[in-house]
Every structure is written in C-alpha cells, then in structure tokens.
Amino acid sequence: MVTTKLSAEETGGALGITHFSAVAGERAPRHTHTLEDEIFIIEGGEVRLTVGDRAETIHDAGVLFLPRGIPHSYLVESETARFYVITTPGGFERFFSEAGYPTELGSSAPVAESWSVDRTVEFAENLGLGMVWGG
C-alpha cells in the first residue's frame, strides 16, 4: 500500500513524499531516474537497496540516498516493511496514484489485476517521468 503524504502541488514542486506498507517480495526492478533524486527512509522491516554497484540491506531503521542518474532497485526481504520515499523535485509521487490500484479502506489487497513490469513502464512513460529501465 502506497500513500502520498505530500505532493508536488503541496510543496511548490520542491518534493514529494510517499509512504509504503509493503510485504515480502515487493520490489522495484532496476531503473534510473533522470529527473529526481530519491531518499529511502526505512522505519521497519528489511529492505535490500541496490544503488549502482553497491547493495545494502537496511534492518528496521535507516536512510539511503539514491541520486538521479544511478541505476537502483529495492526488494522487501522481511515479511513486512514500512518506509518513506522522498523524491526531489516533486512530481514522481503521481506515478503511484496513477499506476496503482485503489484499495478498500483498511485493506492492503489490490482491487484490480496484479502489478506487472510492462504496466509500470507504460505508466512511467505516459507521465513523462524520465525513467530508464534496466542498467
């Protein structure tokens, strides 16, 4: 489940903040942002982040900077994990609201079909987010 905490519209374009409540196996495939820097703030669980050639698993709490132009990915390794993603400048948070699936209040299960890489790539391209996949 991804919740927008602050949008680009609310910050004058400066940043966007999203909160993730994730389950084991949730991941973002290797990709590169050409427009945004990201900051991951892990508040619970284990999340493996790969930035360039460096891989690090953050246990329970930690912060990692993911600069634009550097390929990166993440994988939730624990049963559940909670983390914030801050993007600067803002705007990337639109990806989650546009490409995500609405959920019933209090539910973590998607109402529609499941996530796919092809669908993710399509939404990123349609929103003009400057993402390059792979790398």
Helix (H) or strand (E) holding 66: strand 62-66
**Of the candidates 79, 19, 16, 71, the residue with the CA atom closest to the CA atom of residue 49:** 71
Q: Is residue 135 part of a domain?
A: no
57 - beta bridge partners?
48
Q: Is residue 20 part of a domain?
A: yes
Write out the residue range of the structural domain in which residue 66 sits. Answer: 2-102+114-124
Phi-psi group of 8: left, alpha or beta (phi > 0 → left; psi -120 to 50 → alpha; rest → beta): alpha
Task: Tell me which range, 12-16, 23-27, 95-99, is most confidently predicted by mean pLDDT.
Answer: 12-16
Evaluate if residue 135 carries a pLDDT over 80. Answer: no
- What is the distance, to the nearest Å, from the Cα of residue 81 to the centroid of all Cα atoms in its chain? 13
Q: Report the CATH number at residue 65.
A: 2.60.120.10
Phi-psi group of 45: left, alpha or beta (phi > 0 → left; psi -120 to 50 → alpha; rest → beta): left
Evaluate if residue 51 carries a pLDDT over 70. Answer: yes
Specify burial of residue 121 (Cβ count, 10 A radius: 0-12, 13-18, 19+): middle
Q: Is residue 70 part of a domain?
A: yes
Q: Is residue 108 part of a domain?
A: no
Tokens representing 62? 């930690």
As for how many domains the chain has, the answer is 1
* pTM across the whole model: 0.79
Q: What is the pLDDT of residues 16-27, one digit of tens each?
A: 999 999 999 988
Instruction: Decide if 39 contacts 65 (C-beta within 8 A).
Output: yes
Instruction: Decide if 48 contacts 56 (C-beta within 8 A).
Output: yes
Torsions phi, psi of 63, nearest 5?
-135, 140
* pLDDT mean over 88-102: 75
